[in-house]
Structure 1
Amino acid sequence: MTRRPLAFLCLLCIVFIAALTLFGLPPERGYRDRDTVSSLLEVPRSVSVTGEVLRSEVQEDYSYFILRRAVLSVESQHYAISNVKITLKVPVRYAVGVRVSAVGVLRGIEGPTNPGQFDKAFYYRLQGVGYTMSSPEITVISSHAKPFRETLAIIRETLKKRIRMSFPEDIAGLISAMILGDKSLMSEDIRAVFSMGGVSHMLAISGLHISLFGEGMYRLLALIPLFRKNRKRGAGLISAVFLVVYAVFTGLSVATVRAVIMFVIMRGASFCGRTYDPPTAIALAALLIVIEQPLYIYYSGFILSFAAVSVITVFRERSSLVLGLFLFLFTLPVIIRSYYEFSTYSVLINLIVIPLMPFILLFGLLGTLLGGGAGGIFSCPAIFLLRMIMKVLDFFRMLPYANFIVGRPGVGRIVLYYALLVVFIYISGRTRTRKIRFLLYPFAVPLIAVLVIRVRSGLSLHFLDIGQGDCCVMEMPGGQNILVDGGSSTVYDVGKERIMPFLKYEGIGTLDYIFVTHMDSDHTSGVIEILEAVRDGETAIKAGKLVLPYLKERGEAYREMEKLSREAGMETLYVKSGDSFSFEEKGSGSGHPDRSVIFTILGPDPEAESSPVDENGQCITFALKYGDFDCLMTGDVQNAGEANMTRLLR
């Protein structure tokens, strides 16, 4: 670091800022009155918020905008608060820079209520957003817009419409994400395919996009004889300005800002006749981003972006395969700690996909700009390449062990992993014979095992917070995993947003049994989402057997659940009073009942079934026993079912 004093100074500053964040410094907007505002919002009430529109987005059936410099007015008192996200049920767009007043119910953004759940509060906090308001009354106070930002917003909306007209629906979402940074046109199944393949970076304006756009424009401008002897300087200056504008245009993501800063430093060094030093540029870019928002230090996107570019800088002279392997190994702990799973074949997939990116971006951009008949000539290659990539992703997804759900590793494991990784790279670097060095690479497998292997002991029961509903995840001492119900009447997408993230967080890749006690939606909505995701290949989670109450009279919801079970490749079991399940602890054998988990089914009782059927009364109830531990799972039992359960327990 003595050879790079600026880089060292930048890293020291980042460490200092990280230390300050532990003490809540520097304070965010609204920090002084945060407790007062929180107490005012405890009871929902209509309040007034005024502010300036920072960003406005319009979708097909709704719209939203962000208010900056927001001021909350309650009972003649005024409080400066952080940015507010306002959602409207109608597609209405407000110009960037106009001042508006919104009257409605203001709510703080909730953090995660279960392990593994997406931290929405932290995500919005990075953007300076601390509150939301739905369907308020809007009054425009000042219609004076900011010309530059508003012009960019109009161009963005225009290009989005042209993309929808120029490309098929499935491809339009991909092109919009890759060129505009807008994922609103993309379906959930396509997102899942790219995520499971380890190439979700394609769906964002990443450093790769910026490098391709910036370097491509620089080389193109350098060929034009506009600047005489200073041709390269002029080309560098124009391309740098273009990238800064493009970064603002696409939303200023961390990876975009990092790449733009590094590009500007590189062209600035060339302009001044100085040598460009990548490590210094990386450190300076990180410091500038952290100064703007210190919390980025804890953001996985920030860590992954700088980890990836650092690895590329250090090992840029290695072969593409080795560089891809090192990228995978260095970023793996961050990926697993953030997403709890990883793609086994991501190195190979990226080696296939990344070389195609320049052509996709070029033809996608030309197809968008030209549109119509002329644009079709250019849009066809982009469509072909993207559909080919999706075929590649589908092929790898069908291979054995394509994805591993491993859970969230602890800090100790990560430190040990990186220590062993440094030793591994040091030994491979010291080995001069290429053949011997190649033989060392398989040792990366046990290295990864240090990070992903989990040891389980005993019985664990997890009751999830899913709003109005029921959900219990059971981890058996023998390694089996059981889901008992999973539904909510108050939380939307409860399966995808709460239950599945928790399963991944715990490293549960297979649900051996899913018990559905009865068919009320507050017990089944999340289960349906999970089975649909399994059926459609949108998750690496596997499901074994579906357990339903034995009923003579089966309603439509019951039959739909049976059908979904078949489509997901599951076996369906029907249980009634008197049935039982035994889950033995590993290594205990059948002669140790005290070390086994016993489920004794108490309901439904077929003899007590009436017509029309009382589904609550005939729901699955069971007693769980594990050594000295007893647990009773009652579903929504009532009436005759409750009486029968009580009789059997006595």
Structure 2
Amino acid sequence: MQTMRWYRTVRSRRKMNKRPLCMAAVCWAVLLWLLGQAGISFFTYAPPVLPLQASASGARVTGIVYRVDCYSYSTNLYLKKTNLILNSKKYPIDRIKVTVKNEKTPEKIKPGCEVLVKGDLQEIPLPSNPGQFHERAYYYPRKIKWYQEASGVEVTEPEKDKFLCVQAKLKERLKKGIYSTVSEKKAGILEAMLLGDKGNIGTENKFLFQLMGCSHILAVSGTHLSVIGGLLFGFLRKIRIPYKTAGGMTVLSMGFYGSLTGNGAAILRAVIMFAVSVGAFWTKRTYDFLSAAALSAILLLLESPLYLYDSSFLLSFGAILGLGSVFPVLFSEKAGEKRGESRKEKLCRGIAAGLQLGISVWLVLLPVVMYFFYEIPVWGIFINLLILPTAGILLTFGLLGCLLGMVFPLFGRIVMLPAAGILEIYLDTGKLAAYIPGALWITGQPKLWKCAGYYVLLSLGLFWKCKKERQKRKCEKDRKRREELVLWGMLTGACLLLLIRLPGSGVIVTFLDVGQGDCACIQTDAHSGYLIDGGSSTVSGVGTYRILPFLKASGIRKIKGIFVSHMDEDHVNGILELLESIEKRKTSLRVERIFLSACRETEEKRRELERVGKAAGCEILYAEKGTCIKDKSVVLECLSPSGKYRGDWESNEASQVWRVQSRGFSILFTGDVQERGEKGLLGETGKCQVLKVAHHGSKNSTPEEFLKEVKPEAAVLSCGEENQYGHPHRELLERLEKYAGQIYNTAEVGAVGMEVGKGKIKIFCYRERES
């Protein structure tokens, strides 16, 4: 019923032809984008500058703590009103995210206190691989522009900001109310839904909600504020508080709640829109849904222009655009409420309206979801038919149970029962969805021109439909059918433009930046390829946070083969993470085969990888000299180790060595091969255009006689920035400068991509593209 009332309101507002605020919001967004393209630092991700050329090393900073995140080994402090202390003077700088080990964290640290932090300031890094999380894109809109590894933290004033102190105490009591009424597993989810703290959700629960296409419910958003604001406003009116006073009190309460839960873009939008609706009533003006959203967008972008590129901002306003613009145009003739309907007819109409709302929102959000997350939950629209009607009930009973749990835990548990039951249904639905084939469909990251083309086609289709309606002439059924076919044909064309990835003109080889480790991907067509190694000794979670996001962003759904050069951690731990994710159905990526080599030194690790690979549905094969794989125009040939040496050599010298040939070009992958392994390669490799340098640039690998034979035109080094081994060694670099052409180091330029075409190899460096 609420949906239908909302629909009638929106439908009546469609008669408003003039929405100057909407046009102003569009012009303002375009202007901000142009200023960013012009390179003006305030509108870009340019790194911050310290005052008076102060040193970032050993900096002393004061600031007010406004958020504290505690983890197993460390604590993150978020500081505002920060000042750099230099020669006993204070100089204002941007907000800081401080990381301090738990044993060095003072017990008195709470939001609202002022602290003095000592430690090195660090620029927030740009991503170094396609698909990698863009830290600056997340933190810069929130005014956080520095990281600081704290060597010491001192509380200088325990209650500097009284408002934050009150909020922190209230939040702590609310948390206790939640944990006293439900199990710890469900309490972590409710803590995220009601208070905005996601640290205790658990990775499995987070994935289940992602699978259902309703991750938004885990963050405090406009939906939450609408429910909570509606409850409060209804209660105030029930106790006969005048409408204007009740509206003002609700706006203030929503603002306080938004501040309590983090003041995200969606929260601020909801607060502003509700305030506008109350203001419209006070001034006896018409409230327009889209104009209020446009005003909130203008205000948010005025406060922080980089929200223009923030996924939460785009998703929030995209959903509003779908509800306010797409839904009334596409389904205006079908969603009206009828009198004398039976319960069955009302139920069917409600389900149809839910689907129509879901389709409308997804038509707007599809490019945004694909661009930022590289995959879409296929069944999300249908599962949201369960989520949307019950979310209000869950939030209502969850909040009431939390409030009662603070004082009367027993009554809180009773009131919390409906919320706990709904949460259980959500989790069971997510577990069921995990077993549906293709529940998460990897789409890849679309090009920006494709996103633009999609929105052009969508806008043309909606404009065409509106124009036909304005003609106000009677149409025969077949004419109406033709109009529907044209409209949905344009929408289908827009989706196909976005979703279809045509195969490239050549093979794409990418050497990923995984820190001190190795990983390369050979993409042979639009949705499949091969991996050579995948691990790191300096980047934690390298498989989850670097390799898998790269594969998704590249649109790779199937790995035809993983070649494990040898079993050292910096070559294999990321592969183990991938296989475990596949086994637990946390990704729709599939791996067909894993190619191993025997080595007595690493027998135990090889058995572990073999076990995990089989559990993930992979075929386990063993590669040796002479193993050859042909895939269209690509030939992969194993040059080492020789069969007669299997298992006898040390791990590094027994590394697999692969020569990849395509269209007359050769790329040589050498793992960590050295000594006997390299001697065995002499006379086998021939000239190769590209050499993946062995052992991260160690001086003990890649000798002069080897380089004389390979004669590479380009050499790629994979090592970590300022790694403890000093890779790449100066001696090795001197040999490369003598015998190789271009030299690329992933620690300096990020991922190195190579597109093998007809007669040439096109090379690009990801970090240079991003900067």
Q: Does the 8 Å CA contact 1:240/1:263 hold for their aligned counterparts?
A: yes
What is the CA-CA distance between 1:514 and the residue it aligns to?
1.1
What is the CA-CA distance between 1:438 and the residue it aligns to?
7.6
What is the CA-CA distance between 1:123 and the residue it aligns to?
1.2
What is the CA-CA distance between 1:59 and the residue it aligns to?
4.3
The structure whose RCO (Cα within 8 Å, separation 6+) is larger is 2
Distance 1:383 1:33, change over 3 A: closer
Q: Which moved more, 1:349-358 or 1:3-12?
A: 3-12
Distance 1:553 1:53, change over 3 A: closer
Q: Does the 8 Å CA contact 1:84/1:129 hold for their aligned counterparts?
A: yes
Distance 2:527 2:206 in 1: 31
Q: Which moved more, 1:571-580 or 1:128-137?
A: 128-137
Distance 1:33 1:17, change over 3 A: closer
Distance 1:170 1:38 in 2: 49
Q: Determine whether 1:303 maps to 2:318.
A: no
Other-structure match for 2:439: 402
Aligned with residue 40 of structure 1, among 34, 55, 63: 55
What is the CA-CA distance between 1:610 and the residue it aligns to?
5.8
Other-structure match for 2:675: 639
Matches within 5 A, 1:505-524: 505-524=553-572
The one-character-per-residue Cα deviations of 1:211-262 (angstroms, maximum 9, x if unpaired) are 111112111211112x3xxx22222122111111100010000001101110
Other-structure match for 1:619: 655
Matches within 5 A, 1:471-620: 471-477=519-525, 480-551=528-599, 555-584=603-632, 596-609=633-646, 614-620=650-656
Q: Does the 8 Å CA contact 2:640/2:657 hold for their aligned counterparts?
A: yes
Other-structure match for 1:133: 148
Distance 1:294 1:150 in 2: 29
Distance 1:31 1:310 in 2: 31
Q: Which moved more, 1:302-311 or 1:4-13?
A: 4-13
Distance 1:47 1:573 in 2: 53
Question: Following TM superposition, where does structure 1 have runs of at least 4 consecutive aligned residues deviating by more than 4 angstroms?
Answer: 21-33, 35-39, 74-79, 426-446, 551-554
Aligned with residue 452 of structure 1, among 488, 499, 506: 499
Aligned with residue 629 of structure 1, among 662, 665, 682: 665
Q: Determine whether 1:385 maps to 2:422.
A: yes
Other-structure match for 2:281: 270
The one-character-per-residue Cα deviations of 1:331-384 (angstroms, maximum 9, x if unpaired) are 101111111111222111112211110111122222322233222212232222
Q: Determine whether 1:292 maps to 2:303.
A: yes
Other-structure match for 1:151: 166
Distance 2:418 2:659 in 1: 61
The answer for unaligned runs of 5 or more in structure 1 is 585-595
What is the CA-CA distance between 1:573 and the residue it aligns to?
1.0
Q: Which moved more, 1:280-289 or 1:59-68?
A: 59-68
Q: Does the 8 Å CA contact 2:599/2:647 hold for their aligned counterparts?
A: no
Q: Does the 8 Å CA contact 1:95/1:145 hold for their aligned counterparts?
A: no
Other-structure match for 1:592: none
What is the CA-CA distance between 1:435 and the residue it aligns to?
7.7
Distance 1:610 1:416, change over 3 A: closer
What is the CA-CA distance between 1:280 and the residue it aligns to?
1.6
What is the CA-CA distance between 1:53 and the residue it aligns to?
2.4
What is the CA-CA distance between 1:39 and the residue it aligns to?
8.0
Distance 1:54 1:31 in 2: 25
Q: Does the 8 Å CA contact 2:321/2:361 hold for their aligned counterparts?
A: no
Aligned with residue 648 of structure 1, among 667, 673, 684: 684
Other-structure match for 2:459: 422
Q: Determine whether 1:359 maps to 2:416.
A: no
Other-structure match for 1:54: 66
What is the CA-CA distance between 1:491 and the residue it aligns to?
0.8
* Percent identical: 32
Q: Does the 8 Å CA contact 1:608/1:640 hold for their aligned counterparts?
A: no
Aligned with residue 138 of structure 2, among 107, 123, 127: 123
Letter paired with 1:274:
R
Aligned with residue 344 of structure 1, among 364, 373, 378: 378
| SS, match of residue 476 in structure 1 | strand
Q: Does the 8 Å CA contact 1:30/1:79 hold for their aligned counterparts?
A: no
What is the CA-CA distance between 1:453 and the residue it aligns to?
0.9
Q: Does the 8 Å CA contact 2:43/2:306 hold for their aligned counterparts?
A: no
The one-character-per-residue Cα deviations of 1:184-209 (angstroms, maximum 9, x if unpaired) are 00111221221232111111111111
| SS, match of residue 608 in structure 2 | helix
Distance 1:629 1:448 in 2: 37
Q: Which moved more, 1:187-196 or 1:523-532?
A: 187-196
Distance 2:357 2:77 in 1: 41
Q: Does the 8 Å CA contact 1:598/1:626 hold for their aligned counterparts?
A: yes
Q: TM-score, normalised by structure 1?
A: 0.90
Distance 1:347 1:531, change over 3 A: same
| SS, match of residue 649 in structure 1 | coil
What is the CA-CA distance between 1:509 and the residue it aligns to?
1.4
Q: TM-score, normalised by structure 2?
A: 0.77
The one-character-per-residue Cα deviations of 1:559-591 (angstroms, maximum 9, x if unpaired) are 11011001111111111112111111xxxxxxx
Letter paired with 1:48:
R
Q: Determine whether 1:191 maps to 2:238.
A: no
Letter paired with 1:336:
M
What is the CA-CA distance between 1:325 and the residue it aligns to?
0.9
| SS, match of residue 591 in structure 2 | strand
Q: Does the 8 Å CA contact 1:58/1:64 hold for their aligned counterparts?
A: yes
What is the CA-CA distance between 1:12 and the residue it aligns to?
3.7
Distance 2:52 2:608 in 1: 47
Distance 1:156 1:59, change over 3 A: farther
What is the CA-CA distance between 1:115 and the residue it aligns to?
1.4
Q: Does the 8 Å CA contact 2:527/2:556 hold for their aligned counterparts?
A: no
Q: Does the 8 Å CA contact 1:53/1:95 hold for their aligned counterparts?
A: yes
Letter paired with 1:605:
S
Q: Does the 8 Å CA contact 1:51/1:70 hold for their aligned counterparts?
A: yes
What is the CA-CA distance between 1:396 and the residue it aligns to?
3.0
Distance 1:20 1:646 in 2: 56
Other-structure match for 1:470: 518
Letter paired with 1:136:
S
Q: Which moved more, 1:55-64 or 1:346-355?
A: 55-64
The size of the alignment, in residue pairs, is 631
What is the CA-CA distance between 1:452 and the residue it aligns to?
1.3
Distance 1:270 1:76, change over 3 A: closer
Letter paired with 1:220:
F
Distance 1:30 1:104, change over 3 A: farther
The one-character-per-residue Cα deviations of 1:162-200 (angstroms, maximum 9, x if unpaired) are 323432232122111110011000111221221232111
Matches within 5 A, 1:247-258: 247-258=258-269
Distance 2:47 2:147 in 1: 19
| SS, match of residue 535 in structure 2 | strand
Task: Give me the CA root mean square deviation.
Answer: 2.8
Q: Does the 8 Å CA contact 1:468/1:522 hold for their aligned counterparts?
A: yes
What is the CA-CA distance between 1:11 and the residue it aligns to?
4.2
| SS, match of residue 643 in structure 1 | helix
Q: Does the 8 Å CA contact 1:57/1:93 hold for their aligned counterparts?
A: no
What is the CA-CA distance between 1:77 and the residue it aligns to?
7.5
Aligned with residue 359 of structure 2, among 302, 325, 340: 325
What is the CA-CA distance between 1:112 and the residue it aligns to?
0.4
Distance 1:279 1:178 in 2: 26
Distance 2:282 2:361 in 1: 31
Q: Does the 8 Å CA contact 1:84/1:131 hold for their aligned counterparts?
A: yes
Distance 1:180 1:32, change over 3 A: closer
